[in-house]
Chain A
Amino acid sequence: RKEVEQDPGPFNVPEGATVAFNCTYSNSASQSFFWYRQDCRKEPKLLMSVYSSGNEDGRFTAQLNRASQYISLLIRDSKLSDSATYLCVVTRGSYIPTFGRGTSLIVHP
């Protein structure tokens, strides 16, 4: 089993739709969790950290389920500009990060 797994997609949704991505991790001792966004041929950038109580940033909501070992990202009211690859990141040990392979989102008019 891979350390961090994501459905690669692509998720193809119309503008205004709500879309959710999940990411599962295998190490129950994982410490911290993040979602990064990567545009085509660009470097990854932090979208949001994921906290145990769940957190929201505008149209984006992230949740952590430690019991089932997954994190999720919900995007409401999708915009064309949300089209990108969303990377799940989990850290272990001395904050050593592992990236998932990413989930591709395409938002169409």
Chain B
Amino acid sequence: EAGVAQSPRYKIIEKRQSVAFWCNPISGHATLYWYQQILGQGPKLLIQFQNNGVVDDSQLPKDRFSAERLKGVDSTLKIQPAKLEDSAVYLCASSSNRNEQFFGPGTRLTVL
């Protein structure tokens, strides 16, 4: 079974630029999560989708971050404009049963 795919794996941008991350969950998984993980901290949930509807986005900085999951499959997370403090690993995860989450390898973002 193919795992959660994410791209790109690494991205370096300058502050105030825009960036987008892509996630392809495990086939058939209805729930998709985006997390931000800053070095030395646990993953922080940014947004949770159930199919193509948003379950929770209370910690998503909506002035600069946006996410969509069209057709309830792939998802993209965008940051516009980026700030220095956005430097982190962005993890995507999916789940079929609201229990075990399967994570992708993450995208390591560096904002200069």
A residues apposed to B, CB below 8 Å: 4, 6, 8, 32, 34, 42-46, 49, 87, 91, 93-102
Interface size of B as a range = 20 to 34
Q: Does B45 contact A (CB under 8 A)?
A: yes
Contact: B56 with A32, CB < 8 Å? no
Q: What A residues does B101 contact at CB under 8 A?
A: 44, 46, 97
Which A residues are in CB contact (< 8 Å) with B104? 43
Q: How far is the CA of A87 from the CA of B45 in the complex (A)?
A: 14
Known: A43-B104, A45-B103, A96-B48. A101 touches B41 (CB 8 A): yes
A96 / chain B contacts, CB cutoff of 8 Å = 45, 48, 55-56
Q: For the complex, is B21 an interface residue (Cβ under 8 Å from A)?
A: no
